[in-house]
Amino acid sequence: MGTQKTDTATLGAGCFWCTEAVFSRVRGVVSVTSGYSGGHLADPTYRQVCDGTTGHAEVIQIVFHPEVISFAELLEIFFATHDPTTRNRQGNDVGTQYRSVIFYHHAAQQQQAIEVTDRINKSGNFASPIVTEIKPFTVFYPAEDYHQDYFSANQSQPYCVFVISPKIDKLTKYFKPKLKVE
């Protein structure tokens, strides 16, 4: 896989700890980095983003091999592992920093984001319409080191047990063929 071409995806689905834990288990994913995107402040801190005044969303940036996992397949996992029908909230996490958002890196990603969103919206899988934003990527700021690989380092913490573990279970149940072999 070392010589295969890679692509980058930037997705926001609420807390980046959850999203990072999900996508780090997907076959074809080279790396997942938690961070911030979509705001107006350069190099924001976690505290600034949590205050909800910077305009950033908590996101993950995924480097992946499109020959192994397509952007559209990543989006299917994205939509299945968070609630894309709630504006600016995921569970108890409330604010614009927790919005559902796809920051596309090129025209093909934009088109796939629109197509996958429309298809899932029409599928009837959700009782309410999808409110996920589809926006052009501008800049990504990696989060502080203690946010990286958070779930793996903190699996016994209550947030991880009650919020992240069920997402991992759902991923395993519905996307097992797309997971890395452990």
Active site residues: 15
Residue owning tokens 């319409």:
129
**Antiparallel, parallel or unpaired: β 100-104 and 133-136:** parallel
- CB 18 within 8 Å of CB 34: no
- Residue carrying structure tokens 């969303």: 57
Beta-carbon count within 10 A of 178 CB? 18
**Total residues belonging to the chain:** 182
Please state the three-class secondary structure of 14-35 as a single string. CCHHHHHHHHCCECCEEEEEEE
Angle, CA of 108, 112 and 17, to the nearest 5°: 105
